[in-house]
């Protein structure tokens, strides 16, 4: 698949122009998608079935827990 065909496929799938996608920070795009879906983005791990997976799989901490720990640390 050539680049133009790929870009057209991405535009068709997302409903957003390639230029907009290129110039929008990923965190802004994610927030837009989450707002449209009405839920947070989640990711699934299929390790070891697909790819190598996360080497930190058993040590991953979610964002909310980190924020709570951070606030606790700075207020002590």
Q: How does pLDDT run across 53-73, given as a tens digit for each residue?
A: 566 667 777 888 889 999 999
**pLDDT value at residue 63:** 86
For residue 57, give the DSSP letter: G
Q: How does pLDDT run across 11-62, given as a tens digit for each residue?
A: 999 999 999 999 999 999 999 999 999 999 887 766 666 556 566 667 777 8
Question: What is the token pair recorded at 36?
Answer: 């449209």
Longest dimension (CA), the chain: 56
**pLDDT value at residue 2:** 87
Task: With beta carbons less than 8 A apart as the criterion, state whether 57 and 63 touch.
Answer: no
What does pTM read for this prediction? 0.48
């Amino acid at each position: 698949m050539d680049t133009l065909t790929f870009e057209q496929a991405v535009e068709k799938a997302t409903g957003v122009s390639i230029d907009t996608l290129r110039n929008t920070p990923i965190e802004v795009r994610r927030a837009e998608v989450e707002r449209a879906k009405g839920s947070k983005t989640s990711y699934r791990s299929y390790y070891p079935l697909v790819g190598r997976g996360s080497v930190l799989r058993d040590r991953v901490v979610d964002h909310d827990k980190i924020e709570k720990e951070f606030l606790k640390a700075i207020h002590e």
